[in-house]
Amino acid sequence: MTTKRRSLIGKFLFRWFVSAAGLGIAAAILGDNLNVESSAAVVILAGLVLAGVNTLVKPLVVFITLPALLISLGLFMIVINGLMVLLASKLYGGLHVTNFGFAMLAGMIIGLVNYLLVTLVER
């Protein structure tokens, strides 16, 4: 396996870990509004689905909504993150979000967890 492929796999595994951790924290904070079934395996699988959505779908959505992102000075990314959480909940039955507002809140929490973990790993 080449170094570049290993690096891509490592990045995806880290994104998966961050997504699962962020979902677990968001579920603890948001309570019944973001419900990840109680099993740790369900949280890990939901993190995998969210990492896959963020890897495959999110770049296309960001590209399509680039004008809105520029006009809003990047704040539209909150909406995009919410859409990704909502899409992951539609694709995986173990993750339930009550509405789009709570999906956006979950996206912000996951983004914050991502920022904190990346900062810790880089140091």
Residue 1, pLDDT score: 59
Among 89, 78, 80, 41, which Cα is nearest to 62's?
A: 80
Whether 6 is in a domain gets the answer: no
Whether 14 is in a domain gets the answer: no
Residue 31, pLDDT score: 87
Confidence class for position 61, pLDDT limits 50, 70, 90: very high
Residue 40, pLDDT score: 85
* 114 touches 84 (CB < 8 A): no
Residue 54, pLDDT score: 93
Residue 86, pLDDT score: 95
Whether 66 is in a domain gets the answer: yes
Residue 112, pLDDT score: 95
Task: Give the model confidence (pLDDT) of 72-119 as tens digits.
Answer: 999 999 999 999 999 999 999 889 999 999 999 999 999 999 999 989
Task: Give the model confidence (pLDDT) of 36-57 as tens digits.
Answer: 877 788 899 999 999 999 999 9
- Locate all alpha helices (DSSP H) within 1-123, ordered by sequence: 3-30, 40-56, 58-64, 66-71, 76-91, 100-122
Whether 20 is in a domain gets the answer: no
**How far apart are alpha carbons 94 and 83 in whole angstroms?**
17
Reply yes or no on whether the pLDDT at 34 is more than 80: yes
Residue 121, pLDDT score: 85
Question: Domain containing 49: what range?
Answer: 26-122
**How far apart are alpha carbons 42 and 49 in whole angstroms?**
10
For the chain, how many structural domains are there in total? 1
Residue 63, pLDDT score: 97
Whether 16 is in a domain gets the answer: no
